[in-house]
């Protein structure tokens, strides 16, 4: 499937992503996923806005590859101020600096690992995998660093300069 065909899918009920020309269909997220995504959207979004660091977006598609096409849409993403450009129609070309994936019970380990790897291979500096069930955040960085933050920890990642939040606040 091409990105043009992907953009014209007539299915408002499911979420879709395109990986190397293959359509990936996912059910709509459940309540815990939605509340965690909103909490983190507020915490990260307000910090980025108040400090003029760039832009935070929710469920935004990024065209990462062509022929075959790959379009991924993280639950949240951050683009640093020096990389923010004029908004255009369609999907943004290239990866965000940070891709945040809030995991659902239906997510399979292999799928999550594949997506995390794709984000990092195709230009993201960091990927946060947020686990509502375990109340943890796993941070993967393009330089190979990997760190697991528990509910009692403070989440810190240099990708968003100065951002610090208690992991427990994400799940509050």
| Separation of alpha carbons 9 and 104, rounded Å | 23
What kind and span of H or E run contains 39?
helix 31-50
pLDDT tens-digit map of 155-167: 999 999 999 999 9
Find the farthest-apart pair of alpha carbons in the chain and give their distance in angstroms, rounded: 45
* 3-class SS of residue 128: strand
Q: What is residue 121's predicted lDDT score, i.e. its pLDDT? A: 95
Pair of tokens at residue 54: 């760039």
Q: How many CB atoms lie within 10 A of CB 158?
A: 11
Task: Please give the model's pTM, rounded to 2 decimal places.
Answer: 0.86
Split into its structural domains, the chain has a count of 1
Per-residue pLDDT tens for 71-125? 889 999 999 999 887 666 778 889 999 999 999 887 888 889 999 999 999 999 9
- Give me the domain span that covers residue 62: 3-170
Q: What is the CATH number of the domain that holds 159?
A: 3.90.1570.10
Check whether the bond before 68 is cis (ω within 30° of 0): yes
Question: How much is the pLDDT for 131?
Answer: 96
pLDDT score, position 90: 78
**Per-residue pLDDT, 86:** 65
Closest CA to 28 of 72, 69, 70, 75: 75
């Amino acid at each position: 499937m091409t990105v043009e065909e992907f953009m014209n899918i007539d299915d408002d009920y499911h979420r879709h992503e395109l990986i190397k020309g293959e359509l990936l269909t996912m059910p709509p997220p459940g309540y815990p996923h939605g509340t965690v995504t909103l909490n983190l959207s507020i915490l990260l979004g307000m910090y980025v806005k108040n400090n003029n660091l760039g832009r935070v977006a929710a469920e935004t598609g990024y065209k990462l590859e062509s022929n075959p096409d790959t379009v991924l849409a993280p639950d949240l993403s951050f683009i640093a101020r020096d990389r923010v450009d004029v908004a255009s129609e369609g999907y943004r070309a290239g990866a965000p600096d940070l891709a945040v994936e809030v995991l659902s019970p239906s997510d399979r380990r292999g799928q999550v690992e594949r997506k995390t790897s794709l984000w990092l291979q195709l230009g993201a500096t960091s990927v946060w995998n947020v686990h509502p069930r375990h109340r943890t955040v796993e941070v993967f960085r393009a330089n190979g660093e990997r760190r697991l933050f528990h509910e009692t920890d403070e989440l810190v990642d240099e990708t968003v300069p100065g951002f610090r939040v208690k992991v427990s606040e994400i799940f509050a």
